[in-house]
A and B are shown apart, each in its own frame.
Chain A
């Protein structure tokens, strides 16, 4: 077995579950996150300079975020609704499932995909992966203060984009009346 494949398999054991969780949070359907997970590792195995990457985990996380939002953008038309997530074993939906079945979550994720630059990554790491500002700063090679500023700016952008979406939806409804 090649050295890089060994390295990737070790990395898979170490960070596979974390990356799969991240992909599922960003895409929501389980089968999609499984497919994207495969795509992510194939991308990593095709890297020429795998040894040159200082933090494989940070690199893989960034690639996973990009893959997930790319998928959301491409599949916006045919996006699987959040309600299509695997049903729980019990007949009654759990409180968490009820919360997930909120279309607004999907709207938030779609809007996040429209963020530019490091803002999207920072929001994902801070609010979805619940990582500390210091950790994010270390991963991105920025100061903690810069990360806080990026987070604040990204949240403002999400708010503005959501307001824009809301306005557009209402406008369409009025036009249809």
Chain B
């Protein structure tokens, strides 16, 4: 292998996005980031749903039943 071939291979590798250089799909999201996204989401999901929403749904139900 010539020196120029080695150089061009090195350039190609260094130009790749980080994750594809590690052999993943281009849209791959690193674990630390997907974990944080999921945690942000489940933190809100774990909150109790405010009463106003349940009241709204009760209202809709009663309206439909003609109360």
**Is the A/B pair a real complex?**
no
Q: Could you list which residues of chain A lie within 8 angstroms of chain B, going by C-beta atoms?
A: none
Q: Could you list which residues of chain B lie within 8 angstroms of chain A, going by C-beta atoms?
A: none
